[in-house]
Amino acid sequence: EVQLVESGGGLVQPGRSLKLSCAASGFTFSNYYMAWVRQAPKKGLEWVATISTSGSRTYYPDSVKGRFTISRDNAKSSLYLQMNSLKSEDTATYYCARHEYYGYKAFDYWGQGVMVTVSS
Amino acid sequence: AIVLNQSPSSIIASQGEKVTITCRASSSISSNYLHWYQQKPGAFPKLVIYSTSYRASGVPSRFSGSGSGTSYSFTISRVEAEDVATYYCQQGSSNPYTFGAGTKLELK
């Protein structure tokens, strides 16, 4: 059974940094692209970042490019999101998701999410 | 960026009723890259339909999808109580990978 478990969320002040982690199990982690998708309170879904199987390629929307960095450790089956220069609009639940990239680019499995609140 | 316009934004339906949600893209996308997710209250999203019309593993046959080009639809043939959720379309055709704003399904 595919499992994705996020951690590292919490309350952080504007301008500060936070690093999220996602522990994966139930599949061969190194064979899959992975992603982060967020959801602001009472709002819709927003794709945040994707990383290739080896970690050599990363993709971001303009809203987080230059501030967020996605990375992975295939030996630990773990995914990370380093978030710098945080803004109030980054307040959201952050989901780790498996990104089916070779075929149709859907997010086929999701974690339960971790809350990040950016506030002074 | 490809914008996905979902309609309606909310639906109130009776059990057993057929409901259809529409997703219109701001530019044409291959049907391979249009997907639908279900997010039940307080839960994480779940992929239900991928590549326009293929049901994900374990998804009941009452869920279906169709469409091409810029116009796609998602249908529940006979709504059940457990289908109460918000449904989102998503395109994987081009970066940034965007979602529709969602359609909230409630029961009468």
For A18-66, give the DSSP string: EEEEEEEESS-GGGSEEEEEEE-TT--EEEEEEE-SSSS-EE--TTTTT
Q: How far does Cα A48 stand from its chain's mean position?
A: 7
Burial group, residue B7, by CB count within 10 angstroms (0-12, 13-18, 19+): middle
**Which residues does chain B have within 8 Å of residue A4's beta carbon, measured at their own beta carbons?**
none
pLDDT of residue A113: 98
Nearest Cα residue in chain B from A112? B44
**Which residues does chain B have within 8 Å of residue A6's beta carbon, measured at their own beta carbons?**
none
Smallest CA–CA distance, residue A104 to chain B, in Å, is: 5
pLDDT exceeds cutoff 90 at B21: yes
Burial group, residue A61, by CB count within 10 angstroms (0-12, 13-18, 19+): middle
Residue B66 is given by DSSP the state E
pLDDT exceeds cutoff 90 at A48: yes
A101 falls in which pLDDT band (50, 70, 90)? confident
pLDDT of A58-98, one tens digit each? 999 999 999 999 999 999 999 999 999 999 999 999 999 99
CA angle at residue A31 from A26 to A33, to 5 degrees?
Answer: 100
pLDDT of residue A64: 97
**Which residues does chain A have within 8 Å of residue B49's beta carbon, measured at their own beta carbons?**
none
Mean pLDDT of A109-115: 98
Chain B segment 48-87 residues within 8 A of A by beta carbon are: 50-51, 56
pLDDT of residue A102: 81
Smallest CA–CA distance, residue A110 to chain B, in Å, is: 7
Q: CA-CA distance, B55 to B61, in Å (whole number)?
A: 8
pLDDT of residue A10: 97
